[in-house]
Amino acid sequence: MITKTLFTAVAAGLAWSAAVAQPDPTGRSVAPEDLRMDLGIIRSTLEQAHPDPYRYPGKAGLDTLFATIHASLSTPLTSEEFIRAAMPVFRAVGDAATRLTPPAEVERAYEHSEPLIPFTVAVIEGRLYLDQELKGFRSLPTGCELLRINGRGSAEILALLRSGVVPEGEDTTLLDRTIEQDFPVMYRRFVESAERFKVEYRAGDGTVREQQVIGLTKDEMRSSLRRPGIDLQPWRMEDLRDLGAAWLTLSTMDRQELGRSRIVPERFLGQVQEALERGEVRTLVIDLRGSHGGDPAQANQVFALIAQKPFRSVSSMYIRSGEVPDSYRYATPAPEFFASVNGMYMPALNGRRVLQATDPRLRLEPPREKAFQGKVYVVCDGGTRDAAALLVMLANRTGRARTVGEETGSNAAGYCGGNGLAVTLPGTGCVLQVPLTCYVPEGIPAGPVERGELPVYRVPRQAADLALGRDTVREALLNLIAELQ
């Protein structure tokens, strides 16, 4: 018994020692030759698989960038340092769906073991405001303006965060909404690693104060914030009977996310149509803020609910060559895409293959039988991307609905998405995400070239409403609906 107990204790001690001795994945350095190898894989993948890599920089410009970065990789770098070194390439390509993310073990560290700043922010008119504290007690007033964190001014922090996000053309709204989505991890990645944060802020009464905030892991945040309650479904409708209106929230267009919530789009939209008929609704609001998903068919399904004549969301689609890239051996397999190319796309011309005009995805879609005939508003923001952005474009360009909010996050002239490659680079372990298809939306963009679709009614958020928990855009729109009754 003593021997067995002693053996168990020694084994436990060795296991504990092994766990303690495990190196921090965020600090692992990679040799220059491996960094240059990974950079070469990025280059070949973009050249061989991305549908439009030279849209903004041109081939000569992108070649020059790669050569400059290759020459700079002369010392060991961590995976995050490599991502920052390669970032000029991604920002030049100007496609938000093409990006380089940290290795899986580093992502796990951010998710479970790394101390992070425990709050989210709102970016309004180039300033940072506290949105929500991710812990069980309040140490900062909601809606206060964040002036400095650990000595860094908010302008410097915002610039560092924006530099870590790939823009969509010349659109900047996507950058700020992306920062809001996961500020704790982005601050850790692009500003600093710290366990304590001295926050200087401006309170609602105008006074400037300081507060020390202790970092928490994401697991600790989840544990601290865990409260009983009902989780809101990503697709849901609210009856605003006193206004003769309904508010339809579609917070995602991603089929996998909808599947996890057991939402079948066709069935759900049929139930919405029945509810609109029973409730004698005169005005429908479709809220797409923060919504995204790669399949244009999702936009078609929703728009058919309100369409008054046949429509289509995209006028063309194209890919690079359809050939399997050299980096495919490092990628998550996508056999369906490569197997179907020759039967769907025209022969290559000027470095791309265009979808055949007879393809069913380019046909006119009919409205639903008994589609909603009342007034429609569509709400969007910089986080509205891909299929959700297509829905905004349909609303604008057909004149069927009035759009409200801010510029969408996908390029209104054409954006990349759909099926993609996830290439795990062998040297750093970073994951290269490359879309394989470019979609050209139907109609003419409403606004400047190489920007997101602009709404008819531009309604910016108000910092003063954060402290009160008010939704600026929602309140403005409901007031408009009430006035027009």
Q: What is the pLDDT of residue 22?
A: 58
50 pLDDT above the threshold of 80: yes
- % of the chain residues with pLDDT over 70: 94
170 band by pLDDT with thresholds 50, 70 and 90: confident
Average pLDDT on 57-86 reads 97
More confident residue, 159 or 24: 159
pTM for this predicted structure = 0.90
Find the mean pLDDT for residues 57-70. 97
Mean pLDDT, residues 332-347:
91
Res 409 pLDDT > 60: yes
- Distance (Å, rounded) from C-alpha 234 to C-alpha 213? 32
Which class would CATH give 115-216? mainly beta
Residue 42 has pLDDT above 90, yes or no: yes
Q: What is the DSSP letter of 430?
A: -
- Averaged pLDDT for residues 46-54: 96
Q: What pLDDT sits at residue 19?
A: 40
Tell me the average pLDDT across 60-69: 97
> Is the pLDDT at 186 greater than 50, yes or no?
yes
Q: Does residue 230 register a pLDDT over 60?
A: no
Can you give the residue ranges of every domain in the chain?
28-99, 115-216, 235-483
pLDDT value at 381 more than 60 = yes
The pLDDT value given to residue 17? 41
pLDDT at 8 > cutoff 70: no
Cα–Cα dist 113/115, whole Å:
7
Q: What is the DSSP letter of 56?
A: T
Amino acid at 336: E
Q: What pLDDT shows up at residue 20? A: 44
Is residue 11 scored above 60 in pLDDT? no
- pLDDT of 18 reads 40
Q: Give the model's pLDDT for residue 419.
A: 85
pLDDT on residue 468: 84
Alpha-helix runs per DSSP H in 164-264: 173-181, 183-190, 218-225, 255-260
Mean pLDDT of the chain: 91
Quick one: average pLDDT of 180-208? 96
Q: What is the pLDDT of residues 75-131, one digit of tens each?
A: 999 999 999 999 999 999 999 999 999 999 999 999 999 999 999 999 999 999 999
pLDDT at 396 over 70: yes
Q: HSE of 223 in the Cβ direction (CA atoms, 13 Å)?
A: 7
CATH of 235-483, one of 3.30.1130.10, 3.40.50.150, 3.40.50.2000, 3.90.226.10: 3.90.226.10
**In sequence order, which residues have a C-beta less than 8 Å from that of residue 216 and are 6 or more positions away?**
115, 116, 118, 134, 135, 224
Task: Name residues whose C-beta falls within 8 Å of residue 404's C-beta, 6 or more positions apart in sequence.
Answer: 377, 378, 379, 380, 455, 456, 457, 459, 473, 476, 477
Beta-carbon contacts of residue 387 (< 8 Å; ≥ 6 apart): 253, 292, 293, 294, 295, 296, 297, 298, 299
